[in-house]
């Protein structure tokens, strides 16, 4: 995962962005590995169909917080950074990928998950109030570049092209995999020919899409069924 900002708005060292996006398929899906909370192991077993996790707005109310970090606050001020909203850090996050970001089950506005939690801590450390904005993943580049958001904390893979426009700080490896239904006959996908003839769900504008389309092009050049990308908002 990466935190991304426009280079001219703040010091890169102060911003955190994650570089993981998901690639999915009707027959094959790319997804990052499951993340589990340390508290989950301590939670009582839930009855069938009941989540052992608190997925309500109380989760946001009980987020961990830190005091402002003097060195970070001083560096931010020295950088000339001016937040879009006074005394707030406006952060684009996406609420479409559990456990990274999702909406609370008791309303359709509060964003929960790993990414908003991290963004909130970054804002705390900078002495700013966290102001999250639920943004479709494909819309974050224009929003950050145009100054609508101070930063984005979402599944943003670091690429050379993106580094021309944004500053990045990463805190986890970009590890992706294909995911299929448990009863699928597909047991391995490791090269272009393995997706020949498959419909593969993938996020528009993602690094995974680039990889997948390159594989499809390679299959077509080799005279075999290239495969087909499929796009869904959720």
Instruction: List average pLDDT for each run of 10 residues in the chain, which is 234 residues long.
Output: 48 32 38 37 54 87 94 96 96 89 92 94 97 90 94 87 90 82 94 97 87 97 97 80
Q: Which residue segments constitute the domains of the chain, with CATH numbers given?
A: 2-34+54-188 (3.40.190.10)
Peptide bond into 28 cis (omega under 30): no
User: pTM of the predicted model, to two decimals?
Assistant: 0.66
Give tens-digit pLDDT for 151-179. Answer: 999 878 888 888 999 999 887 777 788 99
pLDDT for the residue 47: 58
Spatial CA neighbour of 61 closest among 12, 130, 127: 130
Give tens-digit pLDDT for 196-234. Answer: 999 999 988 788 899 999 999 999 999 999 999 999 876
| Tokens (6 digits) for 132 | 């999250």
Q: Are 226 and 196 in contact (CB under 8 A)?
A: yes
């Amino acid at each position: 995962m990466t935190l991304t900002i426009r280079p001219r708005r703040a010091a890169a060292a102060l911003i955190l962005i994650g570089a993981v996006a998901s690639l999915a398929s009707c027959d094959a899906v790319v997804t990052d590995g499951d993340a589990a909370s340390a508290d989950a192991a301590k939670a009582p077993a839930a009855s069938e169909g009941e989540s052992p996790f608190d997925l309500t707005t109380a989760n946001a109310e009980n987020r961990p917080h830190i005091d402002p970090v003097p060195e970070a606050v001083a560096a931010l001020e020295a950088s000339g950074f001016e937040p879009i909203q006074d005394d707030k850090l406006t952060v684009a996050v996406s609420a479409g990928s559990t456990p990274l970001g999702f909406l609370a089950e008791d309303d359709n506005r509060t964003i929960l998950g790993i990414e908003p939690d991290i963004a909130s801590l970054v804002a705390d450390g900078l002495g700013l109030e966290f102001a999250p904005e639920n943004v479709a993943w494909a819309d974050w580049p224009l929003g950050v570049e145009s100054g609508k958001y101070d930063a984005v904390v979402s599944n943003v893979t670091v690429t050379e092209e993106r580094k021309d426009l944004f500053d990045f700080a990463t805190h986890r490896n970009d590890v992706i995999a294909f995911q299929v239904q448990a009863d699928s006959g597909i047991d391995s996908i490791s090269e272009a020919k393995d997706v020949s003839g498959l419909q593969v769900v993938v996020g528009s504008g993602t690094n995974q899409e680039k990889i997948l389309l390159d594989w499809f092009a390679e299959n077509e050049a080799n005279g075999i069924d290239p495969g087909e990308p499929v796009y869904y908002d959720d």
